[in-house]
Amino acid sequence: MCEVIKDSQSARDVLTDIAALGPFFSVQAHRPGEDLHPPWLTVGELAVLWGNVASAVNSASMHIAATQRSLARPSGWSRPTGRVSSRAAARAI
């Protein structure tokens, strides 16, 4: 759940707690109503970005599946995609 923290000391405490989780966590904050600056994105921008990522993943998945079939076909295996791993097919692309 996302909550707006209005008390600046509480906000600092939350950011300190998150930073204590380690180097893989990075948090930046902005005041409600402020203009967003990179890397912040609006919900609309996130939706477009997610749509582009989902499209690219779908395209890659289809290409990998086609490569699996192509690699297995000459071998004569009856279940081609089950015999050639997705990882091996992706490497062959």
Residue 37 contacts by C-beta under 8 Å, 6 or more apart in sequence? 30
Share of the chain above pLDDT 70, in %: 76
Record the pTM.
0.45
Which pLDDT tens digit goes with each residue over 24-65? 776 666 777 788 777 777 778 888 888 888 888 888 989 888
Specify the amino acid at residue 12: R
Residue 7: per-residue pLDDT: 64
Neighbours of 1 (CB within 10 A): 2
Question: Using an 8 Å Cβ cutoff, are 35 and 29 in contact?
Answer: no
pLDDT at residue 68 in the model = 83
The domain ranges of the chain are: 8-92
